[in-house]
Structure 1
Amino acid sequence: MTNSRKAARATAYWTTGPEHGELRSESLPVPGPGEALVRTLYSGISKGTEIVVHTGSVPPRVANEMRAPHQEGSFPSPVKFGYLSVGVVEQGPAGWLGQKVFCLNPHQDRYVTATKDLTRIPDDVPARRAVLTGTVETAINALWEAGPRLGDRIAVVGAGLVGGMVATLLRTFPLARLQLVDLDPERKNLADRLGVGFSHPDDALPDCDIVFHCSASQAGLERSLQLTGDEGVVIEMSWYANREVTVPLGEDFHARRLSIRASQVGVVARARRHRRTNADRLNLAVSLLKDPVFDAFLTGASPFTELPEVVQNLADGTLEALCHVIEYPIEDNSAAEGESAHPVDDPSTTTDPEDKR
């Protein structure tokens, strides 16, 4: 254990009311046995879920189920929420000191947590890119849920952060066909960077074995059912929060014996639940991020001090992004591998699907 065992101060982002958030100062406990003090380098805004929290739209019926792992407070507010955080261990067991880590932690510049809740970031994964670990984990869980097979025909409807991530993982599978489907023609730029075929919904090819629906829209769900082949399955990854959605069960659904299966990252998919833990899934996710193709999802950055304004701008549409990175003051450049603190290039004009944790 390091000899520096003093309490510290921290600043965290809280949602304090509908479409209002602020930075609050708080004291941190001294790390105990098996705990670490982490200084944050970057965090990512998971737009779909975090805007639902920001607008106070989490349904009371599922408020407990939708709690983030290290959330404080309760929905609708005040609540400290978020789950894409990368930092470096400053205090803790000797084997953890100086280690870059990912944690499902809210936006906060320092925090104390159990080391069992930290995921080590491999040396060949840049700290900035590692904020995507939680979203890659979501995509992995959906693939475990769906079980794609050799020669499958697959469509991913909704080319935002989650849909794009699913397509990124699937692009290396031995499939007969993979299409990323979206209304916005600008999403073709993302598909091209990922090396995946792109289609407008009207032109998407039918008779799919599996369709992953990630658009968080009723129209997207309807089109997903139309694209699914007889006795095929739609993996529903959207979170509609408190919005009502009508499912057209009188059309393709019964006549072609289709299935709709929910995928939610809170638990490991049933097909792997007895042989994989949440920690195993996170370790797999972060290991995949050595591939620089994932940089396509990092579409902007802002300093931590501007986070309240950034969240509001994402909510009202004046700022659009796939994953917007929040940068924290770098006190030890070596911990962040000398990465620039300047915003990421490649600004996006897309919107995210309603992903959820």
Structure 2
Amino acid sequence: MRDARGHDGHEALDRGVAHAFWVRAPGHGEIRPVGLPEPGPGEVVVRTVRSGISRGTETLVFRGGVPAAERARMRAPFQEGDFPGPVKYGYLNVGEVEDGPPELCGRTVFCLYPHQTSYVVPAAAVSVVPEGVPPARAVLAGTIETAVNALWDACPLVGDRVAVVGAGMVGCCVARLLRRFPAVRVTLVDVDKGRADVADALGVDFALPEDAAGGRDLVVHTSATSAGLQRSLELLAPEGTVVDLSWYGDTEVRLSLGGAFHAGRLGIRSSQVGTVSPARAARRTAADRLALALDLLRDPAFDALLTGESRFDELPEVLAGLAAGNLPALCHTITYEEDH
């Protein structure tokens, strides 16, 4: 449990106590008090307004499904504790700067910070949310950043026929961005026929896996299931590639690579947001990529991904419900009250 010091060891002074969500042990979450340090030079104090739950990754963390060999790579920028727990984990946080450099004070910012009522971080760790992007939508910045990186990896071309298999947060963000490419036809594929309404709001086609048309130039896979990855391969045209964004954790993936896999010279390529895509790494930084993601969130179509909200004090029950599959949601956001 965090003591009365901040992330960099400063003594907590008169800032008082904030509150943070921790996974105490797999399947069990709780709200804990944390001491806030006084900000040092070049640091900001942020009061959280909204945070978002990255459903796939955070429910996997909540269940204790991070493999031992991947625990170092899976660490979030401001994570405390270690997997499987106790651990403070999360990275979709939007807040207001209450103290820091004059050019940031009073600004709404995005930060890759866990679910916590207020916090102190280096000023370089926050990105200003553009005018016209409401805080609830801004929590999607980290997910849009993942989608941007994936499209840098995938390199879609004008007129491509593309399927996105898996209509979760990441898949929906990828589909909407692809919709803006000239003459690209995008089909969102999911086992849940209720996602057809989301696809319509995003301006793309929808199909159940068994009804999806093949011959795709590119397939982006985000379902985190063996069945979804298998179907992605089946949808490809010869010489096509599946770009896989799924994080499987400790789940074994099984594929049948007979049939057209070799004859069609099909490919599977991973994409991961932890590093900037090699296609742009020489010319773009991670900060550039995040700034682009925030600018892309001026598009109000992304509001279709905001499918629920709960109070901060309800977060332990909310994550348990999401992990158990009892709470259907794309992006579930968390609201913060002034008195926390």
TM-score for the superposition, normalised by structure 2: 0.94
1:164 pairs with 2:172: yes
Distance 1:61 1:176 in 2: 39
The yes-or-no answer on 1:194 pairing with 2:194 is no
What's 1:344 paired with? none
| Equivalence for 2:323 | 315
How far off is 1:7 after superposition?
3.1
Aligned to 1:267: 275
Q: Does 1:21 align with 2:29?
A: yes
**Partner residue, 1:250:** 258
Q: State the Cα distance separating 1:222 from its structure 2 match.
A: 0.6
Aligned: 1:294 with 2:294? no
Contact 1:149 1:175 in 2 (8 A): no
1:159, 1:187 within 8 Å by CA — same for their partners in 2? yes
Give the Cα–Cα distance (whole angstroms) in 2 for the partners of residues 129 and 236 of structure 1.
Answer: 25
Q: Match for residue 125 of structure 2?
A: 117
Among 40, 45, 51, the alignment partner of 1:37 is: 45
Q: Which secondary structure does the structure 2 equivalent of 1:268 belong to?
A: coil
Whole-Å separation in 1 of the counterparts to 2:163 and 2:206: 10
Q: Distance in 2 between matches of 1:271 and 1:17?
A: 39
Listed as ranges, the matches of 1:337-352 within 5 Å are none
Q: Is the 8 A contact 2:133 2:298 kept in 1?
A: yes
Structure 1 residue 18 displacement after superposition: 1.2
2:98 is equivalent to residue 90 of structure 1: yes
SS of 2:259's equivalent in the other structure is helix
Which deviations, in whole Å up to 9, do the C-alpha atoms of 1:217-254 show, x marking residues without a partner? 11111110011111111000111100101122223221
Residue 303 of structure 1 pairs with residue 283 of structure 2: no
* SS of 2:103 mapped into structure 1: helix
Gaps of 5+ in 1: 332-357
Q: CA deviation at 1:177?
A: 2.2
Asked whether 1:240 is paired with 2:242, we answer no
Paired residue for 2:186, among 170, 178, 181? 178
Partner of 2:5: none
Q: 1:138 aligns with which of 138, 141, 146?
A: 146
User: Quick one: distance in 2 between partners of 1:278 and 1:110?
Assistant: 24
- Who is 2:4 aligned against? none
Separation of aligned partners in 2, 1:248 and 1:175: 32
Q: Number of aligned pairs?
A: 327
Q: What displacement does 1:6 show?
A: 4.2
- What is the CA–CA distance in structure 2 between the aligned matches of 1:253 and 1:159, rounded to whole Å? 24
Tell whether the 8 Å contact from 1:19 to 1:55 is kept in structure 2 after alignment. Answer: yes
Contact 2:179 2:185 in 1 (8 A): no
TM-superposition CA deviations, 1:129-161 (whole Å, max 9, x none): 100100010110100000001111110011111
Residues 94-149 of structure 1, C-alpha deviation per residue, up to 9 Å, x if partnerless? 11110100000000000000011101001111111100100010110100000001
Q: Could you tell me how far 1:86 is from its partner in structure 2?
A: 0.2
Distance, in Å, in 2 between the alignment partners of 1:202 and 1:303 is: 39
> 2 CA distance for matches of 1:171 and 1:177?
7
Contact 2:321-2:327 at 8 Å conserved across structures:
yes
Displacement of 1:176 in angstroms is 4.3
- 8 Å contact from structure 1 (residues 213, 220) kept in 2: yes
**SS at structure 2 position matched to 1:94:** coil
Alignment match of 1:106 (pick from 85, 91, 114): 114
Does the C-alpha gap of structure 1 residues 94 and 6 become closer, same or farther in structure 2, counting only changes over 3 Å? farther
Q: Deviations over 1:37-72 (max 9, x none)?
A: 100000000110001100001000010001111111
1:6-33 CA-to-partner distances (Å, cap 9, x unmatched) read: 4332100000111001000011111111
Shift of 1:195: 1.1
Contact 1:44 1:131 in 2 (8 A): yes
Alignment TM-score, normalising by the size of structure 1: 0.90
Aligned partners of 1:321 and 1:19: how far apart in 2? 19
Query: Equivalents in 2 of 1:288, 1:318: separation in Å?
Result: 31
Map of 1:54 onto structure 2: 62
Distance, in Å, in 2 between the alignment partners of 1:204 and 1:110 is: 45
Structure 2 vs 1, CA of residues 330 and 171 (structure 1 numbering), >3 Å: closer, same or farther?
Answer: farther
CA contact (8 A) 1:101 1:118 kept: yes
